[in-house]
Amino acid sequence: MKVSNRIVTEDEADLRLDRWFRRHYPNLTQGALQKLCRKGQIRVDGGRVQSNARLAPGQSVRIPPLPDMTRQAPLPPPDPMLVREIEKMVIYQDDHLLVLDKPSGLATQGGPGITKHVDMMLDGLRKEDEDRPRLVHRIDRDTSGILLIARTPGVAAKLAAAFRGRDVGKTYWAIVVGRPAQASGIIDQPLAKIGAGGAALVVAASRGEEDAVSAKSEYETIDAAGKKFSWLGLSPLTGRTHQLRVHCESLGTPIVGDPRYGGKTAHPEGFIDKLHLHARQLDIPHPAGGRLIVTAPLPPHMRETFRSLGFVPGDTPAPKRIKGSRGPAK
């Protein structure tokens, strides 16, 4: 193989160099790539570059001889049962992205003790001769609702940038025990993580604590059953682990069925004992222009709780593309 040059495409905008190589040369290891970068054998527009550099459309990537690196082992066929399962989750799709309605109890990614998760099922959504779809963000294992999937690395990079730039509107619904003292407001409560891995807990922290990070959520009481239970609309303004769950607990209104937070109060009798937190709606800038708003229907256990409490969720709107709109709808 001779030295060659490849031009970065529009779809590969903002992609890291190591991920770009992983896409085109999947058998090239990270260590080998970093060594080639250090020696200056891999260059971008003629200049030396590190493996974590981000690429722009039109740039030229110098590729040194990589014997046998382009030969990719054939992928095993996806499990037909997993394919059927993830296909049933799709509530919107186009040439750029997919939106899933993830059930409660299914993890987004793997980890200790997790044998089944969305990420391992994504091959079932791959189109022939196209990239493997990839996760754009995550939601908790026990949370149900909207999960955004990109069809290509370029789309994933654009959507990830929108999440980082807070150009995404996220709405969650929750059933909580009790009723907030104020019907609506901003929860400005720093958080800190205790422990690591799957056993880690997130707790409310004081400002200035060494491990404390800023965390803000907006909430609104949509309906209430006296002072015993409330239906809240929640919008995280930051993206911390378990943020909404801990913020609801800090209000004195833990989410019904929460297995980690709220203690016994979160497990009242007469309700299905599953987390009542649902990623209801996502409002994103679409990679092809305009905005996309997608809404996920309530999961079965929350529908039952709504019915028993007399809450009326109304119809679930169909996905909607809006042309020329900027910023998430308020």
Write the Ramachandran bin of 143: left for phi over 0, alpha for psi from -120 to 50, otherwise beta: beta
Please check whether residue 279 is in contact with residue 170, taking contact to mean a CB–CB distance below 8 angstroms: yes
Give residue 133's identity as a one-letter amino acid code: P
Note whether 264 and 256 are within 8 A (CB): no
Pairing between strand 144-150 and 277-285? Answer: parallel
140 is catalytic: yes
Q: Would you state the structure tokens that stand for residue 33, as one six-digit string?
A: 């790539």
Q: Which of 140, 142, 258, 283 is catalytic?
A: 140
Across the strands, what pairs with 318?
none
List, by residue number, the catalytic residues.
140
